[in-house]
Structure 1
Amino acid sequence: MKTADCDILIVPGLRGSEAGHWQARWAGRLPTARIVAQDDWHAPTPAAWCGRIAEAVAAATRPVILIAHSLGVVACVEAVPRFPVGVVRGALFVALPDVEEAPNLPDLVRAFAPVPRDPLPFPALVVASRNDPHCAYDRADDFAHAWGALTVDAGESGHINVASGHGPWPEGLMRLAGFLKGL
């Protein structure tokens, strides 16, 4: 699959994606990509966030590829039962937070627990860092396994955001291209 053949829905996490974040850059660079906007990036609720994602998937005119970061990953997985069957063809999930066990997350994201563990009805890659402060690598791999997704070991990459030095993140674009090629 090529990017021109699909609608790429980019789903940021808590506080959205700042201008230098790889998601914001990809949204500007990939012609079929758009960011799924939330009403409130600073006070997320599962119903509102999952509803927005499900609306964006339902409104797509081509097969959908989800690209989610952080809390956006959890919201996407929670929204899956609301998706029209067969519309989402794949997902790239990056730096999911462990909303169940990570001790350093704000209480407002704990409302997204528990994280669904049902197998996903589409192929997915879960990119996880060995030193992500919001999710232990083993936990990310466990979630990926439950979802039927492949885990991509990003090494010691922090939370794979601007603060960890991942502005443009060309390695991620290469990973996305390889993933799409296999669909």
Structure 2
Amino acid sequence: MAASATVLIVPGLRDHVPQHWQTLLAAQLPRVASVAPMGREDLDCRARVDAIEAAAQRIEGPLILVAHSGGCIMVAHWAQQTKRPVLGALLATPPDFEKPMPEGYPAIEALTLGGWLPVPRQPLPFPSIVAVSRNDPLGGFVRVCALAYDWGSKVVDIGEAGHLNPASGYGPWPLAHAFIEQLAQAATVRA
């Protein structure tokens, strides 16, 4: 990876989870920071966007975002208001917050009250890769691909990976390293 880039981990609504690929990835990278935990019950999107901004502003030099699930939606909201330059973003298995979610996840009404909806559809102001699972219970393949298209993201079909979390059988996710490297190399070519 570009030696000078720092990876900013943006977790989903469940925050930092032991044995989650993001947690394991953070332990392997030489330059990494994480958005501070907000608590699973806190659905205030603005507070989470502000936490991304605070974390991003503390990082000097090039920045690559690595978001999962609801963190991808947070990044889309954040991207509409930040002035912080970003080399690129890996957005893994974004959920479809505009459709009812499975039991145990926030209802559309709660997401609306929390400021999550509507989900931003504007192109992101930086290159991005959206990793899409074909059997994600939180986001249908076609709908997530449409969201990625609206964001101007490169779509990568990661097959049947569920929601790419420990419940889907994922701890380590080695592809994350390759995607981060792609974003860093593309930034080097553009420079």
Q: Where do 1:154-173 residues align within 5 Å? A: 154-173=158-177
Distance 2:185 2:138 in 1: 30
Residue 98 of structure 1: aligned partner: 96
- Pairwise mapping of residues 20-169 of structure 1 onto structure 2 (< 5 A)? 20-85=19-84, 87-104=85-102, 105-107=105-107, 108-110=110-112, 111=114, 112-169=116-173
Q: Deviations over 1:69-115 (max 9, x none)?
A: 00111011101123125x11100000101111143242244531111
Q: Report the secondary structure of 2:47's partner residue.
A: helix
- Contact in 2 for aligned 1:8/1:32 (Cα 8 Å): yes
The total of aligned residue pairs comes to: 181
- Work out whether residues 94 and 127 of structure 1, in 8 Å CA contact, stay in contact via their aligned partners in 2: yes
**Which runs of 5 or more residues in structure 2 are unaligned?**
none
- 5+ residue gaps, structure 1, are none
Q: TM-score, normalised by structure 1?
A: 0.92
Query: Aligned-residue CA RMSD in angstroms?
Result: 1.5
1:174 deviates by: 2.1
Aligned residue in 2 for 1:14: 13
Q: Deviations over 1:124-154 (max 9, x none)?
A: 0000100000000111111111111111101
CA contact (8 A) 1:12 1:70 kept: yes
SS in 2 for 1:5: coil
Q: Distance in 2 between matches of 1:81 and 1:116?
A: 8
1:15 offset after TM fit, Å?
1.6
